Amino acid sequence: MDWPWNPEKEKLTEPVLMEIAKNLPSYASDAIDHCSKANDERDLLGYVFVYFHVVKEEYFEATVKNLKGSMREEARKIASEAFDLIDLIVQWANTRSNAISNRPPNIFARWDTVVRKWDLLISTGKETVPSTNNDIQKDIPGEYRTTPMSQKELAELYGGSMTPKRIASMVRSGALNVVKSSRQNFTFDKRQLPKRVTDKLSQIE
C-alpha cells in the first residue's frame, strides 16, 4: 500500500494525518509484512509506531482540548475507545506476525467504526463552507491553486471514505485553505493536498 508520510523527511499535514488515522490498522499490517523482506530498506515498522503516536496526540487528544461542554465529553469517550484499540494494534505490531491468531479480533471494522463516529462528531453535520467567513479564505499563490471545483469533486479525487462533509470540516478548521470562486466552487491549496490527489489534478488541469 502507499505510505502517505515519511516521518524522517516530511512535515505532517492535516489531510495526511486524516488519511493515516483512517487506515491505521492497514499500515500496521503492511509494516508487519515488510519485516520479513530484507531487500526493503524502509523501516516501516518504525514508521507505524510514529503513526500510532501522531494519531493519538494530534488526531484525537489535540482536538479534544479544543472542544467544550458536552461535545468534549463525547469526544473523550470516543478517544478513549480509540486509545484502547491503538494499544491492541501496538501489541499486534510487536508480534511482527500477520497470523490471524495475532490480530485483535475484528480490528479493521472496529477501528473504522471509531473513526466514523469521530468524524461525525467533529463535522457537526455541516456540509457547506460559510461563504461570509473571511477567516476561512486565505491567499493562495497562483502556482499552488487548483482549478475551481466543488467540495464534492475534491472528495471524489480523494476517494475512499472522503466526503464533502469532511472537506468542509477541514476547511473550517484551517487545515485546508480555500478561495471562493463561485457559490458552489472553491480554489484549493495544492500544498495541503496528498500526492495522490495532486497527481490526479495534474492529469485533468
Q: Give this prediction's pTM.
A: 0.59
In angstroms, how far is CA 130 from the centroid of its own chain?
23
Write out pLDDT tens, residues 42-84. 578 888 899 999 999 988 998 888 777 888 889 999 999 999 9
Q: With contact defined as beta carbons under 8 Å apart, do 140 and 181 qualify?
A: no
pLDDT score at 122:
78
Given a cut of 90, whether residue 177 has pLDDT beyond it is no
Those residues with Cβ within 8 angstroms of residue 137's Cβ, 6 or more apart along the chain or in another chain: 177, 178, 179, 180
**Predicted confidence (pLDDT) at residue 32 exceeds the cutoff of 70:** yes
User: pLDDT, tens digit, for every residue of 103-150?
Assistant: 899 999 999 999 989 988 877 533 334 443 443 445 788 888 999 999
What digits encode the pLDDT tens for the residues 10-20? 888 888 898 99
Could you tell me the domains of the chain? 14-123 (1.20.120), 142-204 (1.10.10)
Q: What is the pLDDT of residues 178-193, one digit of tens each?
A: 888 777 888 999 998 9
Integer angstrom CA distances of residue 104 from 24, 34, 84, 87: 13, 19, 11, 10
CA distance 173 to 177: 9
Q: What dihedral angle (degrees, nearest 10) is formed by the CA atoms of 15, 123, 187, 182? A: 170
